[in-house]
């Protein structure tokens, strides 16, 4: 168990140095001592960022679910694996033991098999945060099918695009879902999207809300009767370490979403090792990550990382504000949660409310607090530290991405001294670099640049589904021999990293990555619109909100403008989902453009942020006069 759990800063530095100097030896030891392999690797790693081609544990055989389930049965079979806390506080929580989870995963896997799902097939999962979501993910992994979970807040069109992109034949959904006081009709959304997905042959439906749904004969099946008939043993499919485990879509700055493909072996090793250390998980702990499994945080740190460590992981179906703003703290107190991991946007929303909501509950079980998804501002950090951590639980500000699979830069609690707003030091094996505009690495401290990673780590995405060239272009073409993250960062005097935010056209709203191009495409499809540009502007709770500058086809007051704004947002909700709606819409006569026709977003960003004192040089614009006009009507 030597290096698996890092005890102090000296040991961190020692291990870090080893992971840089002898990465193969380092990772081989971790992989060998802490995981179950059916066959050993021939080679620890191979890499060439110019292609890019990266492999870890090549030639090894495993099944990740044996690591997450089977190997725990003898030693912690009755321990709770998943602790399900429903949306309605009146509904009883469910404690699903490792024994039970194993059985339920096997049954589900057998149902998938009986429906003809085979190794390598893609299965789309569109489910709320109910146990069946984790179970179906693991069931796919059990039989070697590639899961593609789509967050159940995406619209039918967004779902259809994701189903078609990776050619899913099977979709798993539920009749409906509970979100706070609302009940959503998930099956209806699936039906709508399947009108555009001719390849889907099977839809498996979980009964959650008991709502009315239409079942298409031959295609749709309630899952319960099938599960009842299924055997509760299912032999794991033996996978190559490099076989894809899942696809997860993330927004790009341009065009359609990117299906990031993650591997089986490297992903398992890195998510498990980071989970153990970054949350300081100990055998009896109750760990809770509030993310949705529809995002990478849920994949890596609700399902795979915790279960690979035999942890108890809480799955929460609800929202932080229902039935009131004390819901998170009520759940922490009720289940005596030891590690609590959430997003800055949730912290900011709750910090605005009365402290009574916090003080009502006993939070003394908490040992580690975490944040993820966007930069955390100092005020929110302090509120979290003072009121939730009571100044005694370290905050791990964890920086990472869908593409990185696991946490890359983060304090190790009780090891790395924390500083508000700093993600601090790279995790073991992670080699960050800051780059200048000319493509040179900026060495030394107290510097700022574009954040790259210069050496592979085990859980990095291997490609974009169906488009390897796009994978290269997006991440490996900007800087030679480097993975470019799309983020800016600074390194302070002691070498701590602070992430300053995206440097591309991705905007993070309430922790959700949104590409500007797909939103603009959605707006431009409105028949009254001729062109549009979206930028982000600072928002107290969401971090960023969206501001749309829209040119209409007809000038004049012919249409009701307020109504038009509603229609535009409706259009966005249909194409992408309600999360991408605009906070502000301004109708403009033109957009500032360079002579080559590129929209100068820099200027629009300043206008949206109400910071127009220094717009820089606008004389090179094709249409400088339009800037004044936009400022005049800015909101």
Interacting residues toward ligand WTA by CB under 6 A: 250, 295-297, 372-375, 397-402, 423, 485-487, 499, 502, 508, 513
Six token digits for residue 626: 């339009």
The DSSP bridge pattern shows strands 177-179 and 182-184 to be: antiparallel
- Tokens 């339920």 found at: 104
Residue 580: DSSP 8-state: G
Task: Give the residue with the Cβ less far from ligand WTA, 144 or 515.
Answer: 515
Q: In the complex, what is the shortest distance from the CB of residue 265 to ligand WTA, in angstroms, rounded to a whole number?
A: 21
DSSP H helices in 453-556? 468-475, 516-524
CA–CA separation, 20 and 4 (whole Å): 17
Tell me how far, at minimum, the Cβ of 51 lies from ligand WTA, in Å.
23
Q: Are 555 and 136 in contact (CB under 8 A)?
A: no
Q: E strands along 346-492, which residues?
A: 368-372, 395-398, 432-435, 447-453, 463-464, 483-491
Nearer to ligand WTA, 112 or 490 (CB): 490
- Residue whose CB is less far from ligand WTA, 459 or 569: 459
Nearer to ligand WTA, 165 or 487 (CB): 487
Nearer residue to ligand WTA within complex by CB, 288 or 295: 295
Which residues are within 8 A (CB) of 567 and not within 5 positions of it... i.e. 6 or more apart? 526, 528
Residue 230 or 272: the one with the smaller Cβ distance to ligand WTA is 272
Q: Which CB, 294 or 326, lies closer to ligand WTA?
A: 294
Q: Min. distance of Cβ 378 from ligand WTA in angstroms?
A: 13
Per-residue tokens: 298: 């849920």
Q: Are 567 and 575 in contact (CB under 8 A)?
A: no
The Cα–Cα gap between 137 and 180 comes to 24
User: Between 308 and 499, whose beta carbon lies closer to ligand WTA?
Assistant: 499
- Give least dist CB 295 to ligand WTA, A: 6
Q: Which is nearer to ligand WTA, 145 or 396 (CB)?
A: 396
Cβ at position 432, least distance to ligand WTA in Å: 13
The dihedral sign for the CA sequence 270, 399, 485, 583: positive
Q: CB 318 → ligand WTA: shortest distance, Å?
A: 21
The residue among 209 and 297 lying less far from ligand WTA, judged by its C-beta, is: 297
Beta strands in 86-201 (DSSP E): 94-97, 122-126, 146-149, 170-174, 177-179, 182-184
Taking the complex as a whole, the smallest distance from the CB of residue 375 to ligand WTA amounts, in Å, to: 4
Say which DSSP state 280 is in: T
Candidates 484, 461, 521; CA nearest to 255 is 521
Can you tell me the distance from the alpha carbon of 142 to that of 347, in angstroms, rounded to the nearest whole number? 36
How many alpha carbons lie under 13 Å from residue 90 in its C-beta half-sphere? 2
For the chain, first and last CA: distance in Å?
Answer: 59
Closest approach, Cβ 281 to ligand WTA, in A, equals: 18
Q: Which is nearer to ligand WTA, 155 or 274 (CB)?
A: 274
DSSP 8-state code for residue 375: P
Please report how close the Cβ of residue 626 comes to ligand WTA at its closest, in angstroms.
31
Q: Are 371 and 351 in contact (CB under 8 A)?
A: no
* Pair type for strands 447-453 and 483-491: antiparallel
Q: What single-letter DSSP state applies at residue 39?
A: B
Q: How many residues does the chain have?
A: 635
Task: Give me the least distance between CB of 470 and ligand WTA, in Å please.
Answer: 16
In angstroms, what is the minimal distance from the CB of 357 to ligand WTA? 25
| Residue 186, phi then psi, degrees to nearest 5 | -65, -45
Are the beta carbons of 342 and 328 closer than 8 angstroms? yes
CB atoms within 10 A of CB 309: 24
CB of residue 561 to ligand WTA, shortest distance in Å = 34
Tokens of 283: 């055998």
Residue among 325 and 502 whose Cβ is closer to ligand WTA: 502
Closest CB to ligand WTA among residues 213, 260: 260
The whole-angstrom separation of Cα 344 and Cα 510 is 8
Q: How far apart are CA 138 and CA 145, in angstroms?
A: 10
Token pair recorded at residue 489: 């960062």
Q: How far is the CB of 53 from ligand WTA (least distance, A)?
A: 22
Other CB atoms within a 10 A radius of the CB of residue 73 amount to 14
């Amino acid at each position: 168990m030597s290096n698996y759990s890092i005890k102090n800063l000296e040991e961190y530095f020692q291990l870090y140095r080893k992971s840089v100097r002898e990465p193969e030896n380092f990772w081989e030891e971790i992989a060998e001592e802490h995981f179950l392999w059916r066959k050993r690797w021939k080679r620890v790693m191979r890499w060439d960022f110019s292609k890019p081609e990266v492999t870890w544990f090549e030639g090894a055989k495993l099944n990740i679910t044996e690591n997450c389930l089977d190997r725990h049965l003898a030693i912690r079979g009755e321990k709770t694996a998943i602790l399900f806390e429903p949306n309605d506080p009146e509904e009883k929580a469910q404690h699903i033991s490792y024994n039970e989870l194993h059985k339920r995963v096997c049954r589900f896997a057998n149902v998938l098999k009986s429906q003809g799902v085979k190794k390598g097939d893609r299965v789309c999962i569109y489910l709320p945060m109910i146990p069946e979501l984790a179970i179906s993910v693991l069931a796919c992994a059990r039989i070697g099918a590639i899961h593609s979970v789509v967050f159940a807040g995406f619209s039918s069109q967004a779902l259809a695009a994701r189903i078609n992109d990776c050619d899913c034949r099977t979709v798993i959904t539920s009749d409906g879902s509970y979100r706070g006081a609302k009940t959503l009709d998930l099956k209806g959304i699936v039906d709508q999207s399947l009108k555009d997905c001719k390849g889907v042959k099977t839809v498996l439906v979980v009964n959650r809300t008991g709502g009315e749904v239409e079942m298409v004969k031959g295609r749709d099946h309630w899952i319960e009767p099938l599960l009842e008939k299924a055997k509760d043993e299912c032999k794991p499919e033996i996978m190559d370490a490099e076989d894809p485990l899942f696809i997860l879509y993330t927004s790009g700055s341009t065009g359609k979403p990117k299906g990031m493909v993650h591997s089986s072996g490297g992903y398992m090793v890195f998510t498990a090792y980071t989970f153990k250390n970054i949350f300081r998980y100990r055998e009896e702990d109750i760990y809770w990550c509030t993310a949705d499994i529809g995002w990478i945080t849920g994949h890596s740190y609700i399902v795979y990382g915790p279960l690979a460590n035999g942890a108890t992981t809480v799955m929460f179906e609800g929202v932080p504000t229902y039935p009131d703003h004390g819901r998170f703290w009520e759940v922490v107190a009720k289940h005596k949660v030891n590690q609590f991991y959430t997003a800055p946007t949730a912290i900011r929303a709750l910090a605005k409310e009365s402290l009574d909501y916090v003080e009502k509950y006993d939070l003394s079980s908490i040992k580690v607090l975490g944040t993820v998804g966007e930069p955390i501002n100092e005020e929110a950090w302090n509120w979290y530290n003072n009121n939730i951590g009571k100044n005694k639980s370290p905050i791990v500000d964890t920086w990472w991405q869908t593409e990185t699979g696991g946490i890359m830069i983060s304090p190790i609690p009780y090891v790395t001294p924390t500083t508000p707003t700093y993600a601090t030091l790279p995790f073991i094996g992670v080699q960050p670099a800051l780059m200048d505009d000319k493509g040179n690495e900026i060495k030394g401290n107290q510097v700022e640049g574009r954040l790259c990673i210069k050496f592979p780590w085990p859980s990095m995405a291997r490609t974009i589904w169906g488009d390897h060239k796009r994978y290269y272009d997006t991440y490996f073409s900007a800087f030679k021999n480097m993975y470019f993250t799309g983020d800016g960062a600074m390194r302070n005097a002691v070498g701590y990293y602070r992430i300053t935010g995206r440097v591309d056209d991705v905007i993070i709203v309430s922790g959700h990555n949104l590409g500007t191009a797909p939103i603009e495409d959605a707006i431009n499809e409105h028949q009254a619109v001729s062109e549009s540009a979206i930028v982000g502007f600072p928002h107290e709770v969401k971090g960023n909100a969206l501001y749309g500058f829209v040119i209409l086809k007809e000038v004049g007051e012919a249409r009701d403008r307020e109504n038009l704004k509603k229609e535009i947002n409706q259009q966005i909700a249909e194409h992408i989902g309600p999360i991408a709606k605009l906070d502000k819409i301004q109708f403009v006569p033109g957009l500032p453009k360079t002579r080559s026709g590129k929209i100068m977003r820099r200027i629009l960003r300043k206008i949206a942020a109400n910071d127009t004192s220094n717009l820089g040089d606008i004389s090179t614009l094709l249409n400088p006069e339009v800037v004044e006009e936009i400022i005049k009507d800015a909101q």
